[in-house]
Amino acid sequence: MFKAGYITVVGKPNAGKSTLVNKLVGFKVAITTPKPQTTRFNIKGIITNENSQMILIDTPGVHIPKDKMGEYMMKNVESAIKSVDVIIYMVDATRPTIDKANETIMKNVADQNNNVILCINKIDKIEKGKILKIITIYNDYFKSIGGEFKDIIPISVYKEDGLDILKESIEKYLPESMPIYSEDDITDITERELIEEIIREKALNNLDEEVPHGIKVEVERFKKRKNRQKQSVYDIDVNIICEKNSHKGIIIGKDGVMLKKIGSQARIDIENLLQDKVNLKLWVKVRPDWQDNENYLSNIKSKI
């Protein structure tokens, strides 16, 4: 009896959603940074074993939108909780407060009447006695809006504590089905999208707080060729889009140091991804208010 189905992972920014998906899949399908709203669109990570195929959907962090990009990100979350087999609601044990953004998504989740698993993450960072209190707060609130958690599982993604229990729980609620994807597939993201996300991750990790969420990364050229030694080389030209001229200067840095740093860090990950040498060129361009321009948000809209 083989099982297969879709599992959506939702929660506030920095709850550990992307890290969880990467750990379960065993491959970095989603970028991770300490900064909120790192994930911008729904990303699938696929786990296939002899008994089941789990298609995990990593979603943007739940927040109150401030622009069109934020609105599309939240629409991605809303679309990802519809017509799925299991929903994992992740809570950061170090920041367990239920705010308005939480309430909105939890109400949407409750309305779906799906198999919902409450995951309390980062239990290694709090006193054990606090875990039960967090569980009670979320369980009581979810029941008050008509929901019911099928399972409640405390975990530590960082220490890989409780992940086997979580996988067993997910598998329990999946429907009988033939595999949906090939057993070799681990994500639905294209190589171009993975490269864009890798570069954005390096920018997020290296730039000041005010800059990262105002950038967009676009692969303009992606071409494979043979060099003189008959080795495969990828020529990749990339635009880093920002909103202000002052941000452009910060991204480039004095004498181009910051841009070189972002590029050199990204090149290592991209070469590991493609398993070939990479000739990576980065340019920085200014497009004011791109986060409110629908033409520039096509990749985020397409994931809804």
Q: What pLDDT, on the 0 to 100 scale, is given for residue 296?
A: 54
Q: What pLDDT, on the 0 to 100 scale, is given for residue 81?
A: 78
For tokens 């519809």, what's the residue?
Answer: 82
118-167 pLDDT tens trace: 999 999 999 999 999 999 999 999 999 999 999 999 999 999 999 999 99
Q: What pLDDT, on the 0 to 100 scale, is given for residue 61?
A: 61
For tokens 């980062």, what's the residue?
Answer: 122
C-alpha–C-alpha distance, residues 304 and 300, integer Å: 7
Domains of the chain by residue range: 3-173, 191-301
Number of other CB atoms surrounding residue 257 within 10 Å: 10
C-alpha–C-alpha distance, residues 136 and 163, integer Å: 21
Q: Which one is the CATH code of 3-173: 3.90.226.10, 3.30.365.10, 3.40.50.300, 3.40.50.360?
A: 3.40.50.300
Sheet strands side by side (includes 232-242) = 216-226, 232-242, 277-286
CA distances from residue 126 to 89, 95, 158, 222, 240 in whole angstroms, order as listed: 19, 10, 13, 46, 39
Q: What pLDDT, on the 0 to 100 scale, is given for residue 14?
A: 84
Tokens of 116: 């919902």
CATH architecture designation of domain 191-301 = 2-Layer Sandwich (3.30)
244-284 pLDDT tens trace: 888 999 999 999 999 999 999 999 999 998 999 999 999 99
Tokens of 214: 């105002």
Secondary structure string (H, E, C) spanning the chain? CCEEEEEEEEECCCCCHHHHHHHHHCCCCCCCCCCCCCCCCCEEEEEECCCEEEEEEECCCCCCCCCHHHHHHHHHHHHHCCCCCEEEEEEECCCCCCCHHHHHHHHHHHHHCCEEEEEEECHHHCCHHHHHHHHHHHHHHHHHCCCCEEEEEECECCCCECHHHHHHHHHHHCCECCCCCCCCCCECCCHHHHHHHHHHHHHHHHCCCCCHHHCEEEEEEEEEEECCCCCEEEEEEEEEEECCHHHHHHHHCHHHHHHHHHHHHHHHHHHHHHCCEEEEEEEEEECCCHHHCHHHHHHHHCCC
Name the packing angle between helices 245-252 and 257-274 (round to 10°).
70
C-alpha–C-alpha distance, residues 261 and 117, integer Å: 40
Tokens of 22: 């990467």
pLDDT by residue, tens only, the chain of 304 residues: 899 999 999 988 888 988 999 999 988 877 565 555 556 556 789 999 999 999 998 876 655 555 565 665 667 667 777 878 999 999 999 999 998 888 888 998 898 878 999 999 999 999 999 999 999 999 999 999 999 999 999 999 999 999 999 999 999 999 999 999 998 999 888 899 889 989 988 998 898 766 756 788 999 999 999 988 889 999 999 999 988 888 999 999 999 999 999 999 999 999 998 999 999 999 999 988 776 666 655 555 445 4
| Residue 58 CB partners (closer than 8 Å, separation 6+) | 9, 17, 18, 21, 29, 30, 39, 42, 43, 44, 45
| Residue 167 CB partners (closer than 8 Å, separation 6+) | 24, 47, 54
**3-173 against 191-301: fold identical:** no
For residue 193, give the nearest of 223, 225, 212, 217 by alpha carbon: 217
For residue 4, give the nearest of 188, 184, 187, 170 by alpha carbon: 170
